[in-house]
Amino acid sequence: MIIGCGCLFVKPVVAIVGRPNVGKSTLFNRLVEEQRSITAPTPGVTRDRIYGDVQWTGHHFVAIDTGGWQDGPAPEPLEKMTDRRIGELIRQQVQQALQQADVVLMVVDGRAGVTALDEMVAELVRPLDMPVVLAVNKIDDLKHEGAISDFYSLGLGEPIGVSAEHGRNTGDLLDAVVEVMPPEADEHQLDVDAIRVALVGRPNVGKSSLLNALLEDERVLVSEAPGTTRDAVEVEWHWRGHKFVFVDTAGLRKRARVTEDLEGYSVARALGAVRRCDVAVLMLDANEMVTEQDQRIARFTLRNGKAAVIAVNKWDTVETETGIWETYMDLIDERLYFVDYAHRVSISATEGLRIMRIPEYVMQAYSAYRTQFATSEINQSLRRVMLNHPPPAVGGTKLKVYYATQVADGPPTFLCFVNNPKLLTDNYRRYLLRALREQLQLVGTPIRIRMRKSE
């Protein structure tokens, strides 16, 4: 059971461990009943700890998918994709998962037999003061069951043959897990609605470093090599009585530079995280100013109607330059003008500089994102902004708004009944969006305005 480090689990925790490519992520996805972890034949796809909720026969627990335990430097082709420290970082992640766990679920490959790495992982978990359940994976049918008995040699008790891909015997495996789990604690603390926050940006801007700094824990892998993060890693965090779910995403490169299917899948996960979030924290690199790809990512958050915070990371490397903040703000005004509603903050994830402004601004943006207004307040504000700057005439006729009402939040969406929706020009729509947001004091969130002909 985990309590601390900003994270709170009141359910038992089961860490899934094993050497690379034995099917840990496939089994994890089977247990959580969704495609949470990326799976591929390539060893070393999973690197961070991926968490998911599991329910079985009235029991609830948190499963942790971990990277494959490796001895020494990362094997090919993993080294080509990142750097030689990845193997060491993965081992650290596995050890941290074991520190958090109440039960260890070790997975081996029944078709490959007992390997030296399997024995190494067994030596790692055998001395731990917690139950260990041994799953022999890839036992797809009866003809493979003869291999199960070989794994008694690991000294971890009775091995259970399963097929994670086909779901064979996973019920027996879950029975064995819940039998040795500690009882669940009171879950009343988890009834609070969580604010979903997606950390997005180009590769190597410091998303994972920021998440680790906020949690005060090496929760996700950090490396100077772009592409270290592949899964969209979800982490629950409690701060000042509020519950957040931070999603660390893969770096978003230009489509033409996405060279492999696995990276394309990671990008799809990142974009999906934005679609499901409440607030997107767009991270920029202080050393690279604002790029075209930053603009594309910002536009994507706007198209999906997400509240936003702009965090300019690595500020410790440039803050000594005179007038640099004003210069950077001018660039953001120019190149990210379409998300002018977003809070802006300069931070250093590695130095901890102003990082606690992030949850503060996220809370403010989320509050605006979910605000609901009385109809009278909307109409009074709309009249004021239209009196300050009346709509232009189109073909001799001006747009008239008879009545407006809020029809949704997340983001705030207003429906206006008008004489003719075609009289709303693009320029005037942009003015209404900006001016009405200012009138309603909606900082951190976009708004949407829809027009309908009044009958």
166-184 pLDDT tens trace: 888 999 999 999 999 887 6
From the list 127, 95, 89, 101, the residue with the least C-alpha distance to 12 is 101
Q: What is the mean pLDDT of residues 67-87?
A: 55
What pLDDT does residue 96 have? 79
Tell me: cis bond preceding 392? Omega within 30 of 0 counts.
no
pLDDT band at 101 (very low <50, low <70, confident <90, very high): confident
Choose between 400 and 100: higher pLDDT: 400
Q: Which of 190-204, 315-329, 361-375 has the highest mean pLDDT?
A: 361-375
Return the percentage of the chain with pLDDT > 70, whole number. Answer: 81
Asked if residue 320 has pLDDT above 80, the reply is: no
Among the residue ranges 29-33, 141-145, 276-280, 383-387, the one predicted with the least confidence is 141-145
Assigned fold of 3-180: Rossmann fold (3.40.50)
| Rg, the chain, Cα only | 26
Domain spans in the chain, listed from the N-terminal domain onward: 3-180, 192-369, 375-453
Contact at 8 Å (CB) between 139 and 172? no
C-beta contacts of 191-194 below 8 A and 24+ residues apart: 192/242, 192/243, 193/243, 194/236, 194/243, 194/244, 194/245
Assigned fold of 375-453: GMP Synthetase; Chain A, domain 3 (3.30.300)
Q: What is the mean pLDDT of residues 324-335?
A: 91
Q: What is the mean pLDDT of residues 433-444?
A: 94
What pLDDT does residue 264 have? 41
pLDDT in tens, 8-23: 445 788 999 999 889 9
What pLDDT does residue 21 have? 87
**Which segments of 220-260 does DSSP mark as H helices, in order?**
none
pLDDT band at 115 (very low <50, low <70, confident <90, very high): very high
- The CATH number of the domain covering residues in 192-369: 3.40.50.300
Asked if residue 432 has pLDDT above 80, the reply is: yes
**Mean pLDDT in the chain?**
82
Task: Provide the residue count of the chain.
Answer: 455
Choose between 272 and 80: higher pLDDT: 272
Choose between 426 and 44: higher pLDDT: 426
What pLDDT does residue 59 have? 85
What pLDDT does residue 232 have? 54
User: For tokens 């992640």, what's the residue?
Assistant: 93
